[in-house]
Amino acid sequence: MFEGIVENFLLSYIGSYVKNIQKEQLKVQWNGRVLLKNVELNLEAFDKLQLPFSLKEGRVGILSIKVGHPIIISLENVLICACERDDHEWSSDSVERREYAGKKAKLHAAEVAKFTRRVS
């Protein structure tokens, strides 16, 4: 039950950046540490960051979050395959889509922050 609550809370923050978190990948420890193992990155989610390169593949071996003050996030065994963007990826349509995705991401972050303040 506790892991389900943590999983929902975690997904509200990083859910758009990772694919299909399974219960076997998630480990919640009583010392305030949350571990995610063998996480595949959702490559489309990184488009909203408007990076000058595109991601072709991404994995994180271990994502560790230590809840406390401050919150400490560490990544181990990170694999990212990136390449330069093609000229057609910089067309006005795709730039507008990326800007729109960025605005949606900021709005989502503000909503999550507001919800977190209410819960706290």
With contact defined as beta carbons under 8 Å apart, do 89 and 56 qualify?
Answer: no
Tell whether 69 and 106 lie within a shared domain: no
Tell whether 102 and 49 lie within a shared domain: no
Give the Cβ contact number of residue 60 at 10 Å.
20
Could you read off the pLDDT of 11-51 as tens digits, one per residue? Answer: 777 777 888 777 778 888 777 788 889 988 888 777 777 77
Looking at residues 59-76, what average pLDDT do you find? 87
Question: Given a cut of 80, is residue 82 above it in pLDDT?
Answer: yes
Mean pLDDT over all residues of the chain?
A: 78
pLDDT of residue 103: 83
Instruction: For residue 57, give its domain range.
Output: 1-86
- % pLDDT > 90, the chain: 10
Tell whether 57 and 76 lie within a shared domain: yes
Tell whether 67 and 92 lie within a shared domain: no
Question: Given a cut of 70, is residue 93 above it in pLDDT?
Answer: no
Tell whether 92 and 82 lie within a shared domain: no
